[in-house]
Every structure is written in structure tokens, then in C-alpha cells.
Amino acid sequence: MKLIILKTNLLEALGSIERAIGENLNLPILKNFLIKALDGKITFMSTNLEIAVQHETSGKVIDEGEAAVPFSVFNSVVRNLSAERVTIEKKGTKILISSDNYEGFIQDEDPKEFPIIPKISNLNKSLKIRTEILKDALKNTSVSVQYSTIRPEISGVYVNKSDEGLIFVGTDSFRLTEIKVLSSAFSSETGDFSIIIPIKTVQEVVKMFNGADELSVFVDSNQVLFETEKEKIISRIIDGNFPDYKAVIPKSFKTEVSLEKDEFLNAIRLVSTFSGKANDVNLKSGEGGKFLEIFSSDSSLGEGRYKVPAKIKGEDFSVIFNWRYLLDGLKIYKNQNIDLGVNSSDKPAQIQDQKDKGVSYVVMPIKG
């Protein structure tokens, strides 16, 4: 194997595959990545056995072949090269990296020892969607997800595809995010499907695919593949049934509060200074329904109170929430005008955009 690549292309490829470099002590080969030069194409691959990342880059293939290279050493050498043109050549059991003023050898591993990168069984049917839409949906639903060994079925983002569109849901039992993407926002050759994408995979997808306008998604019985022209990430999907989340979403409210998102955010940040270890803030309807009062106190810290201008319809209320959960929910909304729906101190509340009802954030109060 011998090839010539520009340093900028090398760094871009290494930045992609770094996400799946493994640290398995029983399989030290996972600390390596695979370079394949075949049919004039140069592909970098890595896997940690949960996800696999592939990055195709441009360059000149002089001799075809493959090599398994220690990522850490290779990455350090490339980042410190001053020359832009880099030659990578396999010589026996070593990899030669050379440029105008540098030459170094890295011990090569047997590429046959590198794990087989899984493949989707049917690559003829895909779902095509704008990269920005998919990444936003995954990012905003993932704020409600926490990894759980006890309940693995909620350790990821639930995605349901039907004729009506795509629904993304994330929950940790204390809060829930649901995002609906209309069928007009994507094209699909696939049938309906429901999958749970592991939270670690979701986080990597959100970080990847920068600069790509469109992304293809392929799904089979136990894997999901996200693909652009240059990058691919393939992951297992979580085996299990996602809970009946629709039963948690309130259908009506005793009180509805209309207010401005940024001032609400600022108020929570200020008042939360006095929340102490419990992270609790109290939301209370103001006199005459003209403001929302946010209050928190701690005997060792003091107390803070903020009155946010609002329009309140319905019954008076006083409910305690985890302020971090409130902030997480508010940050997913792009528009300023939001509605807060409240029922009681032991029933879930809901935050929604006044115009875009395709995004819902549900949060459980803290029982006082």
C-alpha cells in the first residue's frame, strides 16, 4: 500500500474516525484504525464494537492495500507535520509516514485481526433528510435521555417513521421530549419502522456530518446506518420496547402560562443560585394572572425571587421543579413565545412553542 494525501484531508478523516476508537483491554486492536486503498478510493475505518465510523477521503493511490495503524501515534505525527503533502506507505510490518522534511515508521498491526465492520442488509431503500433537520431533532430529544443499565429501552432516542412523518422521543422518566417532523420534510423508500438509537450513537451523529446538506438513513432489524458522500456511521439499535410515552403527555391543563422564553431562562438562572443541593425552584402564579413568580431559598445561602411578565389563564398554582430540567427544556425552542401548561404538583407539566406544536417538552414536578 502506498498513497499520497494532503494533511488537511488526513486531519478531517482522523477527526471523524476518532469517535469510534476503542479502549477495550481484551481487544487492543480496537486502538487501531484501518486504512483501505482500493479502486482508487481511500477509506479510514474505526470501531469500538458499538459503533463503526468510515470516512472516505481524496488522495492519490499509488499501490492498493490495507493497514491497521495505532491511532494515537499516527494522529500525533500527522498533527505535528509542517508539510501539507503526506505519503503513507506500508513496508513489511511497518507504516512509513513521510513528507518533505520528515520520515517516521509506525508499527503496523495485522489488518486481518481488525473486527469486521457490519453492513446493512438492504442498501436499496433509504430515508433522505436534510442533515440539519435530523441533527436538530436528535440533539433536542437527547436532552431528556440518560444511559440506564436497569432500563436499556430508555437509554436512547426512539424514532418512529409512518405515513404522517417522523417522531423522535427521548425520556428518562422525569422529563420527555417529543419532536415531530412532517413527511414533507424528507423523502423515503422505506416502509414504516420503529427503532431506538443508543444515546452514544445519537451524540456522535450530532457531532458528525458537518457541511453535508443531505443525509441518508438505512435501517434493518438490528442496525442503523447514517451516510453522506464522505462519512458513514453504523450502529446497533437497542433491543426492547419503548414505553407508551403518549400516556405521559398531558391532554389538557388547569392553568396555561404564556411568556417570553429568554426572560424565563434568565429568571431561572438567577433564582437557581439559591436552590442548594435539591436543584428546586418554585413556580407560582402571580396576583391577577399578570406575572409568573419564580422563587428559591436555602437556609445556608439565602433566597431569590423573580417576577416574569406573563398571561395566566386558569387556576392559581404553586409547583416545584428541578431548575436544570426546566433549562434543558427551554433551550430546545427557537422562538420566543412559549406556553407552560400546569395541572398540579404531582402531574406532568408541558412547555410548547406557541406556533410550532411539533415540539413538546414534558417535565415532572418535584413533590413538595
Domain ranges of the chain: 2-113, 127-245, 249-363
Mean pLDDT for all residues in the chain:
94
CATH superfamily for 249-363 is DNA Polymerase III, subunit A, domain 2 (3.10.150.10)
Contact between 97 and 87 under an 8 Å Cβ cutoff? The reply is yes
pLDDT band at residue 299 under the 50/70/90 scheme:
confident
Place of cell 483501505: 36
- Tell me what pLDDT residue 24 has: 75
pLDDT higher than 70, residue 5 = yes
| β-bridge partners, 201 | none
pLDDT at position 33 is: 96
How far is residue 299's CA from residue 294's CA, in Å, rounded to a whole number? Answer: 17
Residue 22: per-residue pLDDT? 86
% pLDDT > 70, the chain = 99
In angstroms, the Cα distances linking 214 to 11, 203, 228, 359 are 23, 18, 7, 22
For the segment 140-182, what is each residue's pLDDT rounded down to a tens digit? Answer: 999 999 998 899 999 999 999 998 899 999 999 999 999 999 9
Kindly state the average pLDDT of the residues 323-350: 95
Identical fold between 2-113 and 249-363:
yes
- What is the mean pLDDT of the segment spanning 251-277? 94
CA distance 297 to 291: 20
User: CA-CA distance, 117 to 319, in Å (whole number)?
Assistant: 51
pLDDT of residue 368: 61
| One-character DSSP codes across 26-44 | T-GGGGEEEEEEETTEEEE
- Please give the pLDDT value at position 325: 96
Which has the closest alpha carbon to 146: 170, 168, 180? Answer: 170
| DSSP element (H, E) containing 313 | strand 302-314
pLDDT digits (tens, 9 = 90+) for 198-226: 999 999 999 999 988 999 999 998 999 99
pLDDT in tens, 13-64: 999 999 999 887 688 899 999 999 999 899 999 999 999 999 999 999 999 9
pTM of the model as a whole: 0.92
**Is residue 102 pLDDT above 90, yes or no?**
yes
- Averaged pLDDT, 299-311: 91
Q: What is the CATH number of domain 127-245?
A: 3.10.150.10
Q: Cell 443531505 appears where? A: 214
Which CATH code fits 2-113?
3.10.150.10
User: What's the 3-state SS for 143-169?
Assistant: CCCCCCCCCHHHCEEEEEEECCEEEEE
Give yes or no for a contact between 282 and 318, defined as CB atoms under 8 angstroms apart: yes
Predicted confidence (pLDDT) per residue in 105-140, tens digit:
999 999 999 999 888 888 888 999 999 999 999 999
